[in-house]
Structure 1
């Protein structure tokens, strides 16, 4: 049985398991969540984090559409969000001034997927599948001038 301090949101176990397994130390991630702390998960192993201001993120999410979104973490208190993208796709966001791709080895402080914790929440939660954001769609939604539109065919 889980300790009484461990919070678990029904329906988020798959996302939590996947997120913890992205760490070199999944047990430490779960321990941090058990005491309602953020867990540092280092970028590079399974994903990188593209940092974007929160207002730009909300607009980009609307342009891309929910069906095409991967995990997006937000911290309204610091006006930041982090889009999880495949580790080999950082160059796809080069030249997009609204996005800064954090390097491999950078610790992203993450709450569990079903909770608002320490000021952070998942705007679009990991679902356990390993699906990530498409940086080409993010680049198009942000664009150099605040977002340019790709042809409808690019979105499927």
Structure 2
């Protein structure tokens, strides 16, 4: 699903985790920065990778599945956030990977709207599609091996 309908569905899905979804949508749509602070751990967790590993990981993921779950990039592409099922962050062990789960909040841009900072690399589709943690781990291993080969060849 693409276009304005997809963005509206994605907005509804994202805002559904807010303490007051209607107030969240109202504020979000009027916020000149185009971002909202939303709680992780309800419908999703976010695994945050350094950009130098995140981009190759996303490349591998897009070869493995038609469409991964939502993916964010921060200002300057220093970090990327992969949306995964709730509870993943509490169980994840990985050097340099941070998790945002229950009790944490993340900055989320309005789908389909340009912002000056954090942005969607893969927008949510509104259906609840998330990245499978096992596939993400495999993609990270393949990406890390590729990055190591490139660094070793310099």
* 8 Å Cα contact 2:75/2:116 also seen in 1: no
TM-score w.r.t. length of structure 1: 0.78
- After the TM superposition, which of the residue ranges 22-31 and 44-53 deviates more from structure 2? 22-31
Show structure 1 runs of 5+ residues with no match: 1-8, 149-156
Indicate how the Cα distance of structure 1 residues 128 and 147 shifts in structure 2: closer, same or farther if over 3 A, else same: farther
The answer to whether the 8 Å contact 1:56/1:98 transfers is: no
Aligned to 2:149: none
Do residues 15 (structure 1) and 26 (structure 2) align?
no
Q: Which runs of 5+ in 2 are unaligned?
A: 147-154
Distance 1:145 1:131, change over 3 A: closer
Cα distance between partner residues in 1 of 2:90 and 2:39: 19
Tell me how far 1:92 sits from its aligned partner.
Answer: 5.8
Per the alignment, residue 58 of structure 1 pairs with: 55
Give the 3 Å change call, closer, same or farther, for CA 22–83 of structure 1 in structure 2.
same
Query: How far, CA to CA, are the matches of 1:77 and 1:108 in structure 2?
Result: 17
Matched residue, 1:5: none
CA RMSD of aligned residues (A): 2.3
Moved over 2 A (4+): 88-93
Cα-to-partner distance string for 1:46-94 (whole Å, 9 max, x where unaligned): 1111111123111011111161410011113261111111013336632
Counterpart CA distance in 2 for 1:88 and 1:35 is: 30
User: For this pair of structures, how many residues does the alignment match?
Assistant: 139
Corresponding residue of 2:138: 140
Task: Please identify which structure carries the higher helix content.
Answer: 2
2:32 to 11, 17, 36: 36
Report the CA distance shift for 1:130/1:147 in structure 2 as closer, same or farther (over 3 A): farther
Q: TM-score, normalised by structure 2?
A: 0.79
Give the whole-Å Cα distance in 2 for the aligned partners of 1:98 and 1:131: 25
